[in-house]
Amino acid sequence: MSYPTNALAKYGTVSIATSSPAQVTVMLYDGLFRFLREAMVAMEAGDRPRTGERISRAHAILRHMLGSMVPEANPLLHERLTSLYLFGLRHSTAANLKRDPAMLEEIIRVLLPLRSAWAVAAERTVQQAAAAREAEASAARFAKTG
């Protein structure tokens, strides 16, 4: 019975290990939004333990995103993203205390454009890598015939 769970965990590990940083960031946003939506459902159902657990998982993702930034790479971007991620942490805590699922939805609304931008960047990275592989293959074919 544990095989599907283990297989799924292994797939997730391989998926992350073979993904670009932009793709991993998109996965993090997807997980964050999933946990926030699950917290909203639990909150609306009055399930305080599940609400807290889901918000805790959302917090873990936000803390990871905060900790994985490199301030020196782009100080202004770092400052702005830090503000947004801290907003998510504070707002989800307040939503839990007030039992207000609309506040969780607001976090999603604020952060969703970032996820969309990372998805575009991830897709461009995939396309550029494919184009580079094709160029290398063409050069190799040309070298063999020329």
pTM across the whole model: 0.79
Please report, for the chain, the start and end positions of each structural domain, with discontinuous segments joined by +. 3-118
pLDDT in tens, 7-65: 445 545 546 667 888 999 999 999 999 999 999 999 999 999 999 999 999 999 999 99
CATH classification number, 3-118, choose in 1.20.120.340, 1.10.3720.10, 3.20.19.10, 3.60.15.10: 1.20.120.340
47 conformational bin, left if phi > 0, alpha if psi -120 to 50, beta if neither? beta
Q: Name the percent of the chain lying above pLDDT 70.
A: 79
**DSSP structure class, residue 24:** H
